[in-house]
Amino acid sequence: AVVEPNADAEAIFWDIRIDDGGENDLVLNHYVRIKIFTERGRDQYSKIDIPYLNGIKIKDVAARTIKPDGSIVELLKDDIIEKTVVKVSGLKLRTKTFAFPGIEPGAIVEYKWKEVRSNSSANNMRLQFQRDIPVQAVTYRIKPAKDMSWDVRPFNMGAFSFQREKNGFDVTTVNRMPAFREEPMMPPEDNVRSWALVRYHGLFSFLSSYNFQAAQTYYIFQPYMKVDNDIKKKAAEIVEGVATVDEKVLKIFDFCRTNIRNTDDKNAGFTDEDLEKLKENKKPSDTLKRGVGSGSDMNLLFAALVNAAGYEAHVVLLPDRGRRFFDRNVIVPGALKPASIAVRSGETWKFFDLGSKYVTPPMLPWQEEGVDGVIADAKTEWLRTPMSPPDKSKEKRTASFKLDENGTLEGDVIIEYTGHLAVERKNLNDDDSPVQREENLKEAVKGRISSAELTNIVIENATDPVKPFVYKYHVRVPEYAQRTGKRLFFQPGYFHKGIEALFSAGTRRYPIYFHFPWSEEDRIEITLPKGYALDNADRPAPINAQDICKHEINMGITKDQTTLIYKRNFLFGGNDAILFPVTTYEQIKHLFDEISRADNHMITLKQTTSTN
């Protein structure tokens, strides 16, 4: 291997030829050659999937294996399978799939295909340089649209230049590109993977300013926020008798959430035919009258009602830090989107988003918290959205167990999620049937405690926009405690049994990124088996890392010596600290290793009287 000495396989070259010289179609020709070194490399690259979306055609797929003895095995056309893999945001993702014939360690495999993108242009196209395999040479050839001057902006890689070829193409080669490997808790791929953006000069260059984009958004949305008599009348009706400004604004928010059916909500009961029949809401009073609208319609109605009530509401353009960290000095198309509504509250702004079904004010979706945004207004105003503190996103767990002398633990569990943790749970369970939701829970518990038997499962508020997401279940775990002679050893922190430390790797390539601050609160009661008493129940030392992270376990026994009370409190992300440079990895790893040790702490019970 040239790029990474211990690689299982390595691409000798990865060539992509991009032709934007046609009328409407963008044509890409891909050609890849890979050397297989090990059995694992053979297994990894024996099957190839070429994914593509609607509007893209994949043609002329060809592949072959060059065996170590020089013999060649060609892929037969009949061996290429087309299938639909998954739906991404309602779009069907298809793949052309094939297996390399005769692949073995020492072999070279190569494949090529043509990709035709209808009504597309190379402007704002992403050039991917870093793949999941090390590549000796990545080559791009680009023929731009006629008479277009262009350049590329590299991200997470050094600068490179294109040279003109005789055939109207410009070419560049980047050598020795290491493989991209995911790490736990890493920034979005756009911030760590090597890629580049193609930009045509002069084309929509007025969008090269985020301020201009904000002003343009303001003019586009003005008609959709129009305050007419219907809106004024409804606003007065909603806020009548309500005392403070904040209460009035929340009252308007609740009205919109309760009375307008969201066409973007998969569970709102709309069929495709229903959606096709719906007329476009051209102004907020249309949304109000029809009682139906998209998340964007609902936000614009909310803004119009707030303005009608005498307050100031604007659309705010925000980035998505789940996709990319935003830098207002670097123009990336699509980096800012009309996301939420900002309402002036004294000298500051408060934010509201009816498009996010499970997010409740004052919170925003985590992807839009703690980011720079701009008010869509003629004069444009930059602002920063607040980040919700750890106590707003809490996992609260309680359990009441009995432990018998054979080591079987049995009892009832309640787990309650709020804030961003609740939103994650609800989004995960949104599409699932009640039976599937129960299966998801069983799998999660059995994934860490294989012998756990769950019954009496109750799942509450799975699709409620406001209330906490709740699991309740009865569990029985044979051999939870290990018996040795007259002693029982067990882990009182039931909720962490079977969970390994968050970071296992000794070294780290990318920064550490937690999506949002969160907290956990556990209270567990364990009735001890008759004839047993605590032999050793020292508690782990508390952990406090500069208010960013706190972890504390307390244990005690009831006065009658029959029941162990275990309490655990944890928070992370205090002071909005969720992103850490790679230089701090050793400290962060050490911190989470210490927490894991404390959570997996064992205690000992000693038999004091015979139970026969």
Tokens 């229903």 locate to 274
Tokens 């030392």 locate to 541
Start-to-end Cα distance in the chain = 67
Please write the tens of the pLDDT for every residue from 97-126: 999 989 999 999 999 999 999 888 999 899
Please write the tens of the pLDDT for every residue from 407-435: 999 999 999 999 999 999 999 888 889 99
- Candidates 17, 4, 3, 2; CA nearest to 127 is 17
In which band, very low, low, confident or very high, does the pLDDT at 88 lie, cut at 50, 70 and 90? very low
Q: In this structure, are residues 388 and 516 in contact, taking their beta carbons and an 8 Å threshold?
A: yes
**CA separation for the pair 387, 575 (Å, rounded):** 9
- Candidates 361, 350, 356; CA nearest to 253 is 361
Please write the tens of the pLDDT for every residue from 575-605: 999 999 999 999 999 999 999 999 999 999 9
Q: What is the predicted pLDDT for the residue at 28?
A: 96
Q: What is the predicted pLDDT for the residue at 333?
A: 83
Q: How far is CA 104 from each of CA 32, 35, 37, 74, 116, rounded to the nearest angstrom?
A: 17, 10, 8, 14, 32
233: Cβ–Cβ under 8 A, 6 or more apart, which residues? none
**Does the structure show a pLDDT above 70 at 92?**
no
Q: What is the predicted pLDDT for the residue at 203?
A: 52
**Ramachandran bin of 351, using left for φ above 0, alpha for ψ from -120 to 50, beta for the remaining angles:** beta
Tokens 């039976």 locate to 435
Q: In this structure, are residues 281 and 293 in contact, taking their beta carbons and an 8 Å threshold?
A: yes
The number of residues making up the chain comes to 612
Q: What is the predicted pLDDT for the residue at 54?
A: 79
Three-state DSSP at 11 gives strand
Q: Look up residue 181 and give its two tokens.
A: 């490997």
Tokens 């959606």 locate to 275
**Does the structure show a pLDDT above 50 at 562?**
yes
**Averaged pLDDT, 443-470:** 95
**Does the structure show a pLDDT above 60 at 248?**
yes
**Averaged pLDDT, 139-165:** 93
- Candidates 367, 366, 353; CA nearest to 324 is 367
**CA separation for the pair 420, 573 (Å, rounded):** 13
In which band, very low, low, confident or very high, does the pLDDT at 204 lie, cut at 50, 70 and 90? low
Q: In this structure, are residues 128 and 190 in contact, taking their beta carbons and an 8 Å threshold?
A: no
Q: In a 10 Å sphere around its CB, with 0-12 CB exposed, 13-18 middle and 19+ buried, how is residue 191 labelled? A: middle
Three-state DSSP at 278 gives coil
- What DSSP state is assigned to residue 17? E
List the alpha helices (DSSP H) in 309-460: 419-429, 434-448
- Candidates 289, 320, 124, 314; CA nearest to 220 is 314
**Does the structure show a pLDDT above 60 at 205?**
no
Quote the pTM value.
Answer: 0.89
Q: In this structure, are residues 512 and 186 in contact, taking their beta carbons and an 8 Å threshold?
A: yes
Q: In this structure, are residues 411 and 443 in contact, taking their beta carbons and an 8 Å threshold?
A: no
Please write the tens of the pLDDT for every residue from 35-60: 999 999 999 999 999 988 878 999 99
**CA separation for the pair 49, 63 (Å, rounded):** 12
Report the 10 Å Cβ neighbour count for 103. 20
Q: In this structure, are residues 129 and 177 in contact, taking their beta carbons and an 8 Å threshold?
A: yes
Q: In this structure, are residues 75 and 100 in contact, taking their beta carbons and an 8 Å threshold?
A: yes
Give, for 484, the enclosing helix (H) or strand (E): strand 482-484
Q: What is the predicted pLDDT for the residue at 206?
A: 44
**CA separation for the pair 399, 563 (Å, rounded):** 13
**CA separation for the pair 231, 226 (Å, rounded):** 8
Bridge partners, residue 117, by sequence: 26, 56
**Does the structure show a pLDDT above 50 at 89?**
no
**CA separation for the pair 86, 112 (Å, rounded):** 24
Q: Look up residue 581 and give its two tokens.
A: 């440079």
Q: In this structure, are residues 165 and 141 in contact, taking their beta carbons and an 8 Å threshold?
A: yes
- What DSSP state is assigned to residue 223? G
In which band, very low, low, confident or very high, does the pLDDT at 275 lie, cut at 50, 70 and 90? confident
**Does the structure show a pLDDT above 50 at 552?**
yes
Instruction: Write out the E strands in 276-336.
Output: 292-293, 313-318
Please write the tens of the pLDDT for every residue from 277-326: 888 899 999 999 999 999 999 999 999 999 999 999 999 999 999 999 99
pLDDT: is 21 or 581 the higher one?
Answer: 581
Q: In this structure, are residues 217 and 168 in contact, taking their beta carbons and an 8 Å threshold?
A: no
Q: What is the mean pLDDT of the chain?
A: 92
Three-state DSSP at 528 gives coil
578: Cβ–Cβ under 8 A, 6 or more apart, which residues? 370, 387, 513, 514, 515, 516, 517
